[in-house]
Homo-oligomer: A and B are copies of this chain.
Amino acid sequence: MLNPGDLNALVLTLQLAATTVVILLVLGTPLAWWLAHSRSRWRTLVEATVALPLVLPPTVLGFYLLLLLGPNGPVGGALVAMGGAPLAFTFAGLVVGSVVYSLPFVVQPLQNSFAAVGHGPLEAAATLGAGRRDRFFTVAVPLAARGFISAVTLGFAHTVGEFGVVLMIGGNIPGRTQVVSIAIYDHVEALDYGHAHVLSAMLLVLAFLLLCAVYWGNRRFRGVGA
């Protein structure tokens, strides 16, 4: 049913989604924390900026990323000048694109959860001798579990389905940048509907099982309000 290219694409997609989610958590968590606790005047602006990439159509966003990351673009040019390789048509490029595009889906749930946790438990942890990092990981994070679950599932699913950005900066290189969303798209465009159906169904089932597993696991947590 599936040709090796499709399988390749599936594996690549999972790699991309997983990498993206990890990076999003690493970047998004401190950002969300800052947004949840800051009283800075800049907060509103940063908050709005995070959500901004969403309003551009993904292909267009991808187009601008292409300009940005290309050898003549500011980022790509700098990379090349520093002896690096431009990011377009590489897995790393896909990751950058996916991260930019899925950032708000990770930051917003985390921010809301951190705000809901509030200062109370953190103050308690501090009086029990837990330092900043300690209480962040042992109190704030587990109490914000729901936010993390949302962040991970939305970030993951959105990256899997994400397509315009990846299409634009990926170059559709089998095994390197051809993710499953593009593969399905190709099948549809080529009027190869049967193939598209099979691949979509597989993706849906896989995603469904993953999501169920995550949500089911989540039931064990006692987060805020749980």
On A, residues with C-beta under 8 Å from B are 43-45, 47-49, 51-61, 63-64, 104-105, 108-109, 112-113, 115-118, 146-147, 150, 153-154, 157-158, 160-164, 181-182, 184-185, 188, 196, 200, 203-204, 207-208, 211-212, 215-216, 219, 223-226
From DSSP, what is the main secondary structure of chain A's interface residues? helix
Given A48-B212, A154-B105, A184-B56, is A200 in contact with B116 using a C-beta cutoff of 8 Å? no
In contact, B150 and A109 (Cβ under 8 angstroms): yes
Rounded to whole Å, the gap between the CB of A193 and the closest CB of chain B is 9
Residues of B within 8 A of A216 (CB): 44
In contact, A59 and B185 (Cβ under 8 angstroms): yes
Bound complex: CA of A113 vs CA of B117, how far in Å? 11
Residues of B within 8 A of A57 (CB): 161-163, 181-182, 184-185
A and B contact pairs by CB, cutoff 8 A, 13 listed: A44-B219, A48-B208, A51-B154, A52-B208, A52-B211, A55-B160, A55-B203, A55-B204, A56-B181, A56-B184, A56-B203, A60-B181, A116-B224
Given A54-B158, A109-B108, is A163 in contact with B59 using a C-beta cutoff of 8 Å? yes
| Residue in contact with A56 in the complex, picked from B45, B51, B182, B204, CB distance below 8 Å | B204
| Residue in contact with A200 in the complex, picked from B49, B60, B109, B219, CB distance below 8 Å | B60
In contact, A112 and B113 (Cβ under 8 angstroms): yes
Rounded to whole Å, the gap between the CB of A21 and the closest CB of chain B is 13
Residues of B within 8 A of A105 (CB): 105, 154
Rounded to whole Å, the gap between the CB of A200 and the closest CB of chain B is 6
Residues of B within 8 A of A196 (CB): 60, 63
Residues of B within 8 A of A208 (CB): 48-49, 52
Given A59-B188, A150-B108, is A54 in contact with B161 using a C-beta cutoff of 8 Å? yes
Bound complex: CA of A52 vs CA of B104, how far in Å? 18
In contact, A188 and B63 (Cβ under 8 angstroms): yes
Given A185-B57, A188-B63, A200-B60, is A52 in contact with B150 using a C-beta cutoff of 8 Å? no
Bound complex: CA of A181 vs CA of B49, how far in Å? 18
